[in-house]
Amino acid sequence: MREWQLGETYDSASGTVRWDSLGQPGRDPVVLLHGTPFSSCVWRDVARALARDHQVFVWDMPGYGASEMAAGQDVSLAAQGKVFTELLDHWGLVEPAVVAHDFGGCVALRAHLLHGVRYRALALVDVVALAPWGSPFFRLVGDHAEVFEQLPAALHRALVREYVSSASEPGLHPDVLDRLVQPWLGVLGQAAFYRQIAQADQRYTDEIQDRYDEIAVPTLVCWGQDDTWIPVEKGRELADRIPGARFEPLSGAGHLVQEDAPAALTAALIAFLG
């Protein structure tokens, strides 16, 4: 975990983005998108495995991980879709394969359906794509973000640790949990944590969910069978809406499949991308 560093920067309209690439330049590109409240480090094992045969691009979205966090920052799904579109142009990627998790799925879908970004292939892993979404806790925080921002630091840390832990079915290694929680601590991190929840609006998926039948690229939908954040039934429904999409449930995994079943997920992705 400590070795995962993003060495490059890109100044987007929503703040400075930290990014990096793995693997030999010029190989078939694969772009990995993280979700909330995570960062690119959840892809570390998968990215290194895929980098044997691909050039893999990873990035922390504005307001997440090592990227810029700032008061008044637009970190909505709409903004992230635009930033992703800008980044692909910055990288010179015309038709990459894309693998997206959680709300990164909505970001990738919006870029494709609303901004005309083309993909060679699309893999969606436990993604935010179909209404309704957002747990009761998520909605409570979103409605009262200004109150939660004032929590004492120790209570905020305990809340975030419990929330992140609930994304895993077997439980997270303490070092992994510490790394995932760390960006949300301190004055900037605490405000950023509640800011991104407050800006998570279902209308950003409502705008596109009736257009999934327009997706014409090879699509794989992977889902943790024990996902308590977004039930596996949503994955099946999503796959049914996308022409020709293949659905692959992963046993023993919750929402954070990259941590719960990295070998099974990596095998599925390698077979699909190959």
pLDDT digits (tens, 9 = 90+) for 146-171: 899 999 999 999 999 999 999 999 99
CB contact at 8 A, 62 and 12: yes
Confidence of residue 178 (pLDDT cuts 50, 70, 90): very high
Q: What percent of the chain has pLDDT over 70?
A: 99
CA–CA gap between residue 189 and residue 241 (Å, rounded):
37
Name the H helices within the chain.
44-50, 77-91, 103-114, 136-143, 145-148, 153-165, 174-181, 186-198, 203-206, 232-241, 257-260, 262-273
Please report, to the nearest 10 degrees, the dihedral formed by the alpha carbons of residues 203, 206, 208, 211 taken in order. -170
The mean pLDDT value for 63-77 works out to: 97
pLDDT band at 2; cut points 50, 70, 90? low
Residue type, 45: D
| b/e code 223-251 from CB counts within 10 Å (16+ = b) | bbbbbebbebebbeebbebbeebebbebe
Which stretch of 12-26, 29-43, 124-138, 220-234 has the lowest confidence by average pLDDT? 124-138
Query: What is the amino acid identity at position 42?
Result: V
Token duo for residue 31: 């772009």
CA pair distance 262, 75, nearest whole angstrom:
28
Q: Which of 69, 68, 47 is nearest to 57 (CA)?
A: 47
Distance in angstroms (rounded) separating the CA atoms of residues 249 and 95: 27
Question: Where in 23-83 does DSSP place strands (E)?
Answer: 29-33, 55-60
β-bridge partners, 9: 18
CA distance linking residue 24 with residue 177, whole number of Å: 30
Could you tell me the strand order of the sheet in which 121-127 lies?
8-12, 15-22, 55-60, 29-33, 97-102, 121-127, 219-224, 246-250
pLDDT average, residue stretch 56-65:
98
How does residue 1 score in pLDDT terms, banded at 50, 70 and 90?
A: low
